Amino acid sequence: MNNIFKNKTILILGATGSIGQEVCKQLSHYECKIIAVGSNLKSINKTKNIIKDGIAEMVMLKCNLDVKKDVLKLINLLKTKYKINILINCAGIFINSPIDKMSSKIIETSFNVNIQSPFMIIREAIKNMKKNKWGRVVNLGSSSSYSGINDSSVYCSTKHAILGFTKALHNELKSSNIRCYCISPSSTKGNMGKSTKNQDYNTFLEPQDVAKFIIFTISFDSNLMNEEVFLNRMFIK
């Protein structure tokens, strides 16, 4: 496999979640620069400790995607300091609530974190990719993009939006040699997975396997590509 990550600057949103941490950990063994973005300092420090033995240059940034000033600050850093080659968006929140009991704030926060803020950050990051005629964008979707889940209408809506955004982005940017992927895993172990109802947690995907697939997808540098990937799990009795 080509070392496509060598000397690249990689922005990882949601770097403190179960999948984001695994992506950071696995990429830390490449000669690259990782800009790892998380929502709170405690989680950022945990991610930092996990990847401390890697060879990659690490920059840890705090950015709450539900806070506009945080998002604008990150976008300004992309304009002035960090020129991104690869963007991996693992950010997301899962809300489990019947629609008639869902507050306007929950809806607003879900759309901010899961689609609006990543949209704005990607919009800035691709400017450098277009200039260099090379780039990779991975959005983490969900199996919820394909099938509705009870009491999760806002989450399903945002993940369907990220799928549509990625497919449109792929068509728009492929002439600039920028590949855009939406990788949609089914239920995955971690804090988000633990809040999923009526499923056997033991059958859930492992975060390290999802991260491995994300890295493989970016590394697969040929004319063959699929902008939409659905990762299902095997049920072992």
From 33, 152, 155, 184, the catalytic residue = 155
From 39, 142, 143, 144, the catalytic residue = 142
Is 146 designated active site?
A: no
Is 155 designated active site?
A: yes
Q: At 200, phi and psi to the nearest 5?
A: -85, 105
Q: How many Å apart are CA 26 and CA 104, to the nearest integer?
A: 38
From 110, 159, 186, 189, the catalytic residue = 159
Give the full edge-to-edge strand order of the sheet including 178-185.
Answer: 57-62, 33-38, 9-13, 86-89, 135-140, 178-185, 228-231
CB-based burial, 69-99: b 16+ in 10 Å, e otherwise: ebbeebbebbeeebebbbbbbbbbbbbeeee
Is 30 designated active site?
A: no
Yes or no: say if 71 and 77 are a contact pair by the CB < 8 Å rule: no
Residues belonging to the active site: 142, 155, 159
